[in-house]
Chain A
Amino acid sequence: MTTPPLPLEGIRIADFGQIIAVPYTAQMLAWMGAEVILIETEDRLTTRVWPPFAEAEPGVNRSGGFNLVNSSKMSCTLNLRDPEGVALAKQIIAVSDVLVENYSSGTMERMGLGYEAVQAIRPDVVYLSLGAFGRTGPMKDLVGFHSVINLFSGLASVTGHKGSHPRIMGGLFPDAFSGCYCVLALLEALYHRANTGEGQYIEVAMTEVLATILPEAVMEYTLDGTEPERVGNRHQEKAPHNVFRCLGDENWVAISVEDDAQFRALAQVAGIPKLAEDPRFSTTEARLSHQDELEPLIEQWTLGCQVEDVVEKLQAAGVPAGPVLDSAQVLADPHMVQRGYVQSPDHPIVGPRPMGAFSWTVDGGQPAIPRSAPLFGEHNKKVIQELLQVPGEEFERLMQNGVIR
């Protein structure tokens, strides 16, 4: 089977993304074949100057936080405080199909790059704004990073061990999850544009993105005021359902038992078949009420085993189980490597570095083969001289005046 053409071939994107969420959105669009021009401003650098750096050595081209959310893009460095810089940005926008941004509310407007201004120079533009709280409502101007978003959405209140503090989910996932909704909305808007010629404005609020995963809690609260409790890793319908320590330091296995047959299989594999006959554990209902007694018995077994052995034996017996992987283990996971999820684009300064690509294959192949992230200002000439047709002398003048830098 041949690989289908990339879905966004021929689409150009002006990327005004900050930190993670919108840069990650535009990265996925770049993987889908779009030509993404990242417009960077030297005095507003974020992830380029934040750790992690390759081997902990700082440098604008050495940040993993930047390089792994800006792969496959071009970098154009403009001084957006200078009217000439803004004029160049407008020229880029005029030849782009999509603009994406997640500055604080009002910033793009102050630079003369708000939706109405952009529509005047590119009538069919698809323009996406992402904000912590969105672009309307009483809190639209508030600043919020992932912790605020986690905590405002109520997600942290349903995350945590019983009787303990709220917890923040790892991995800055509110940014990337918001990015997924942004990509979906943009693809829909581009399909609509292909059919009708119409562009449009899209607005996404990160706090609302997180609230989309809390339907039960929202329903129960609005029915009778019930607030959800923190329950650790436990589940209202399954037991055991938790992570258990294995042999070695900080090694854990996740086990989730859905019914009595699975529990009998678990007890058998663990070498304690009599557990399944114990009235405290013989039915799901009984196990749900005796988890405090059951979990240590299972951990007695797992503590003496390697994670992989527990997973293999339980899966072979039809019991859902999986390793608790850390980031390094994710990137080295033979299964995900085999599926093509892990890609290692070669970067001219820090060399090949593994990263995750799309979570799906198309007709058996990974649809995205990321190219490395751009060096700071790497594509200034390509964008300004070749794309915008600015003559060489003028380019030099703009460089000397610090408009391009």
Chain B
Amino acid sequence: MLREGALAGLKVLELTDQVSGQVAGSFCARLLGDAGADVVKVESPQGDHYRKSGPYPDGVPDPDCSGMFLYLNSNKRGVVLDIESPGGRAAFQDLVATSDFLVLGQNSSQVERFGLSRERLPESNQGLIVVTITPFGLTGLNSAYLGDDLIAISSGGMAYATPGIPDRVEDPGREPPLRSNTHMAGYLAGVQGAMASVAALLSRSMTGTGCEIDLSMQEAVAAVMPFELAHASYHEAKPRRPEIFGVMPNTYLPCQDGYVVVMAVMDAHWRNLMVIADNPDWAELEVFSSGVERARNWDALEPLLLEWTMAHTGAEIAQLAQERGIPCFPAYTVGQMVDSAHVIERGFMVDMEGPGGQKFKLPGYPARLERTPWKFFRPAPKLGEHTSEVLGEWLGYSDAQLSTVGVEAR
């Protein structure tokens, strides 16, 4: 298949559906496909977990139209193999022998069971780069532990650090650690897996030899919190409440139609903020005379600011503030973000269409590379859509051989 992109001409084989509910391996392989590599996703005859999880264009389950599946698997082709059967296993090994990358989402016991560690894979393919993404990695005390997004966000330190600063916490002592209602750990691990893959490719250019990458979701979460870890490493306690965080206001407050960021960390910001708040009498009080004083007296200041924000919409406040160089902004819902003129003008969202003509959007790619731009090369494959195409093209399998792979080729 003729492709453009920085990784055009490279072959990626993905086998991630043996562990349910993990986006990391799928997202990693998709990112390599986004850069132009020829990505083949191998699924069991039952299909990937996310074919069954939605959301669906009509709300009616359809394994070929799950939104999560469409998002995680665009720019890939799809093959169905029963790797538990001898024929399917043999075909899989043949595909591995011709690949540049093998992306796995198994845990350590499954890697062992399927014989997927690099030293047990074809010796003829010295350049193969194997990327395995698991909750806790393949080595170490906890490598056999099961995990998902909640477990990784918790054990990687992020749940404890949420709510972050600035935030509105009535009683931080009683507010439990929190995860976002997303598959965040999976995306974090997926992007880092793609980084590790391309780094290994650059090494391979020098040596001709591939390597085995063992990526832990727990560590992928911890890796995006350098500033948080710095507090522990430097023995300076990290406050969990905004009022003791250096200077205030550096927070967001409810307003007439939602929430608005109220940030005035420098004195010039504060003076300008008071101008747009119509110079209330309390602005001159000694207890609010500096950012540090305002942090110390936040309990007194917050209700005064709240009275002002509640009298305005987020957009009104943001416009007045940004005109004066204060970084205030209304909190958007997902819908407001999608519909914002900025997101529309940048063309970030990708238009999709369901089987019944339903129109919807999915997020696009956040990096714009001038010469090797991201493209939506192809939508996610239907189950087994490219089994005969890929086995013919990559391996030269005949129709007779196709009948041995453990499934009826489409």
CB of A14 closer than 8 Å to a CB of B: no
B261 lies within 8 A of A148 (CB):
yes
Contact, CB under 8 Å: A320 / B151: yes
Decide: A233 near B179, CB < 8 A? Known: A177-B191, A327-B225.
Answer: yes
- Are B366's CB and A212's CB within 8 A? yes
B residues in contact with A177, CB < 8 Å:
188, 191, 224
Residue B254, interface by CB 8 Å:
yes
The chain A residue sitting closest to B132, CB to CB, is: A360
Shortest CB distance B307–A (Å): 18
With both beta carbons as reference points, the residue of chain B lying nearest to A360 in the complex is identified as B215
Bound-complex Cα distance A69 to B193 (A): 20
Asked if B236 and A157 make an inter-chain contact with CB atoms under 8 angstroms apart, the answer reads: no
Give bound CA distance, A5 to B325, whole Å. Answer: 47
Is B120 an interface position by the 8 A CB rule? Answer: no
Point out the residue from A6, A151, A330 that lies within 8 Å of B229, measured CB to CB.
A330
Whether B157 contacts A326 by the Cβ 8 Å rule is yes
Asked if residues B180 and A158 are in contact (CB atoms below 8 Å), the reply is yes
Asked whether B162 is an interface residue with its Cβ less than 8 Å from the other chain, the reply is yes
Cβ-based interface call for B166 (8 A): yes
B160 shortest CB reach to chain A, Å = 5
B236→A55 contact, CB < 8 A: yes
A393 at the interface (CB under 8 A from B): no
Assembly CA distance A333 to B202 (angstroms) = 31
Q: How large is the interface on B (under 10, 10 to 19, 20 to 34, 35 or more residues)?
A: 35 or more
With the chains together, A404 CA to B327 CA distance in Å? Answer: 32
Q: Are B159 and A165 in contact (CB under 8 A)?
A: no
> Of A52, A137, A183, A319, which one neighbours B238 at CB under 8 angstroms?
A52
Given A51-B236, A157-B333: A228 in contact with B181 (beta carbons within 8 A): yes
Q: Which residues between 365 and 398 of chain B lie within 8 Å of chain A, taking CB atoms?
A: 365-372
Q: Which of B181, B183, B199, B250 contacts A159 (CB 8 A)?
A: B181
> B220: CB under 8 A from chain A?
yes
Q: Does B322 contact A (CB under 8 A)?
A: yes
Which of B77-85, B139-147, B274-282, B289-297 forms part of the interface with chain A?
Answer: B139-147
Q: Name the B residues within 8 Å of A146 (CB-CB).
A: 164
Which one, B148, B180, B194, contacts A256 given CB within 8 A?
Answer: B148
The listed residue (A142, A178, A324) touching B155 by CB distance below 8 A is A324
CB distance from A174 to the nearest CB of B (A): 9
With both beta carbons as reference points, the residue of chain B lying nearest to A51 in the complex is identified as B236
CB-CB under 8 A from B231, the residues of chain A are 52, 64, 327
| Contact status B71-A215, CB under 8 Å | yes
B369 touching A176, Cβ below 8 Å: no
* A233/B246 contact (C-beta < 8 A), A52-B236, A211-B348 known: no
On whether A324 and B363 interact (CB within 8 A), knowing A137-B342, A364-B139, the answer reads: no
In the complex, the answer to whether B236 meets A243 with C-beta atoms within 8 Å is no
Contact at B225–A204, with CB atoms within 8 Å? no
Alpha-carbon distance A226/B333, docked complex (angstroms): 11
**Which residues of chain B in 189-230 are interfacial with respect to chain A, using CB atoms and an 8 Å cutoff?**
189, 191-196, 198-207, 209, 211-216, 218-220, 222-230
Q: Is the CB of A331 within 8 A of B229?
A: yes
Given A24-B226, A171-B225, A356-B219, A335–B202 Cβ distance below 8 Å? no
Among the stretches B86-94, B298-306, B354-362, B399-407, the one at the interface with A is B354-362
A 168-189 to B, binary, CB cutoff 8 A, 1 in contact else 0: 1111110111101111110111
Expressed in whole angstroms, the Cα–Cα distance for A143 and B261 within the complex equals 12
Q: In this complex, what residue of B is CB-closest to A353?
A: B233
Contacts of A219 in B (CB 8 A): 55, 67, 71, 352, 360-362
- Cβ of A301 under 8 Å from chain B: no
Q: Is the CB of A54 within 8 A of B334?
A: no
Chain B nearest Cβ from A228, distance in angstroms: 6
A172 touches B164 (CB 8 A): yes
Query: A4-B207, A177-B191, A191-B201 known; A153 and B332 CB under 8 Å?
Result: yes
Let me know if A336 and B322 touch, CB within 8 A.
no
Taking the complex as formed, is A139 at the interface, i.e. its CB lies under 8 A from any CB of chain B? Answer: yes
Provide the residues of chain B in CB contact with A153, threshold 8 Å: 332, 337
In angstroms, Cα B246 to Cα A203, docked, is 32
CA distance A200 to B164 in the complex (A): 36
Asked if B62 lies at the interface with its beta carbon under 8 angstroms from chain A, I say no
B-facing residues in A347-366 (Cβ within 8 Å): 350, 353-356, 358-364
Q: Does B45 contact A (CB under 8 A)?
A: no
Contact A170/B371 with A161-B178, A191-B202, A218-B361 known, Cβ cut-off 8 Å = no
B residues near A303, Cβ cutoff 8 Å: none
Beyond contacts A154-B337, A183-B195, A214-B182: 4 other A-B pairs, Cβ-Cβ < 8 A, are A4-B211, A160-B178, A189-B372, A320-B146
13 contacting pairs across A/B (C-beta < 8 A): A6-B203, A20-B227, A144-B327, A152-B329, A166-B331, A184-B198, A187-B202, A223-B57, A233-B179, A324-B155, A325-B154, A330-B157, A361-B137
Binding site for A on B (CB under 8 A): 6-7, 20-21, 31, 35, 53-55, 57, 67-68, 71, 135-137, 139-142, 144-148, 150-168, 173, 175-184, 187-189, 191-196, 198-207, 209, 211-216, 218-220, 222-236, 238, 246, 250-252, 254, 259, 261, 263, 322, 325, 327, 329-338, 340-343, 345-346, 348-349, 352, 358-372
